[in-house]
Chain A
């Protein structure tokens, strides 16, 4: 299994703060990078995808990719209690998707 590492957390932030989630991967051939959110008892849902170095913003979410450092991150601005979930980093290598162990985020009202 290709290695994808995440801080398992749990991560707690107050409402309105910025939550920062990090992920590293081992395979330099990885081509696409994704962040999925998973609520308890539900299936993962895609919230961000990124394919080239730099930042990609979508609403309150910003994904950052640094292929040289094999690092991808997710920033959630103005965190809301509804953001409380497990966030899974996924890496696509040769059309196979490998996941990290997930980071549990709790946003405290």
Chain B
């Protein structure tokens, strides 16, 4: 079983459209994250959810909205897509509250906005 799974792996869409990426983890972790990785490989944190509560939002445009129906799922919805949204989006999870916990990543979802 995949520990952190994301769907879809690839999205190609037009500017102005709305899209969602789903993420599920079966590790029993308390904290889930969304990261954006640009073409230069920089991993930027977007959101962090701990037990379904948003605990950080690093100046991400409000076109991006995370939704967590339960602590095993963290979905990302993006409205009015722009060219600059093209990137790979990684979902990750960790043992929230445990200092020594590591991040486990999903396989990534490559979004291309045309």
Contacts and interface: CB of A to CB of B under 8 A. Distances in A.
Contacts of A102: 41-43
Interface stretch (A63-71, A72-80, A86-94): A86-94
Interface stretch (B17-25, B62-70, B78-86, B93-101): B93-101
B103 A90 contact: yes
Contact of B103 (A42, A46, A86): A46
B31 to A, nearest CB: 7
Given A43-B90, A44-B105, A98 B45 contact: yes
Contacts of A32: 99-101
A102 B43 CA distance: 9
Contact of A96 (B42, B45, B102): B45
A104 B41 CA distance: 10
A49 interface: yes
Q: Is the interface of A mostly helix, strand, loop or mixed?
A: strand
Interface residues of B, number: 27
A106 to B, nearest CB: 14
A32 B50 CA distance: 18
30 contacts: A1-B44, A1-B58, A31-B99, A32-B100, A36-B103, A42-B108, A43-B90, A43-B106, A44-B105, A45-B105, A49-B102, A51-B100, A88-B41, A88-B43, A92-B101, A95-B50, A95-B94, A95-B96, A95-B97, A95-B101, A96-B45, A96-B56, A97-B92, A97-B94, A97-B103, A99-B35, A101-B40, A101-B41, A102-B41, A102-B42
Interface of B: 31, 33, 35, 40-45, 48, 50, 56, 58, 90, 92, 94, 96-97, 99-103, 105-108
B102 A51 contact: no
Contacts, number: 64
A38 interface: yes
